[in-house]
Amino acid sequence: ASCAANVVAHGQACALCRWGPCGDVKKLKVDVRDVEEYLEARGYKSVEVSVESLKIRVSKRLRTLDKIFLEQATRLPISEPAR
């Protein structure tokens, strides 16, 4: 993907699409507490968050806007429970 060239050229990393991960995956570090604090500030209660390999798992369904924001901020996909 064309974004892969930009990721590498700028010394970044990303694991959002099926062609990834791109760049240095060591840079894809997520502080679980930061994600929990964001979700609390957005009105979610008692959401369990974990990072497994290159994926963030949450115990509740997220509003589309919050899922997109977290994925773009962390560059990792969000895994939610099925509806």
- Structural domains in the chain (count): 1
Q: 21 preceded by cis ω (within 30°)?
A: yes
In terms of residue numbers, what domain contains 8? 2-79
Q: Give the per-residue pLDDT at 1.
A: 62
Say how far apart CA 6 and CA 52 lie, in whole Å.
Answer: 26
Q: Give the per-residue pLDDT at 6.
A: 87
Mean pLDDT of the chain: 93
Q: What is the pTM of this model?
A: 0.88
Say how far apart CA 47 and CA 62 lie, in whole Å.
Answer: 10
